[in-house]
Amino acid sequence: MNYWLVKSEPVKYSWDQFVKDGKTFWDGVRNYAARNNLKAMKKGDRVLFYHSNEGLEIVGIAEVLKEHYQDPTTTDANWVVVDLKPLKPLKKAVTLAQVKAEKRLANLQLVRLGRLSVSAVTHDEFSVIMEMADMK
């Protein structure tokens, strides 16, 4: 299993809306590095859901339901989506400030590549975040 992090502005698409919808396709990615991460996602992978702009915190865990396919919001074949479903909210949201203060997360792509909307997370990084969220 691999681990990922996706960002969404709560005013555009919040964790609560995601839970209400029950699943969604992750669209609107127009960065090649983020797109490559979408292409690398496999069914069953775990995905951290991060509120960007407002909140600046990891709030939930999702799962990849369907691997990449053509983004239905564009005819440009360069762009893809994956289907995600919410699994559970974090018991305690993990803020960006907490992430940056945690030495074990110094190499997390959220920290190093802050503008990347879809990023990889290592197993160890995922475990640290789960610990910080009181999910162990």
What CATH number has the domain bearing residue 34? 3.10.590.10
Q: Which of 95, 119, 118, 111 is nearest to 28 (CA)?
A: 118
User: Measuring CA to CA, which residue among 61, 41, 51 is closest to residue 9?
Assistant: 51
Range of the domain at 74: 3-132
Q: How confident is the model at residue 136 (pLDDT cuts 50, 70, 90)?
A: confident
pLDDT of residue 75 exceeding 90, the answer is yes
DSSP class of residue 103?
A: G
Give the global pTM.
0.96
When pLDDT is averaged across residues 79-90 and rounded to a whole number, the result is 98
User: What was the pLDDT predicted at 36?
Assistant: 97
**Cα separation of 53 and 51, whole Å?**
7
Q: How many domains does the chain have?
A: 1
What tens digit of pLDDT does each residue of 11-52 get?
Answer: 999 999 999 999 999 999 999 999 999 999 999 999 999 999
Tell me the residue type at 51: H
Q: How far apart are the first and last CA of the chain?
A: 18
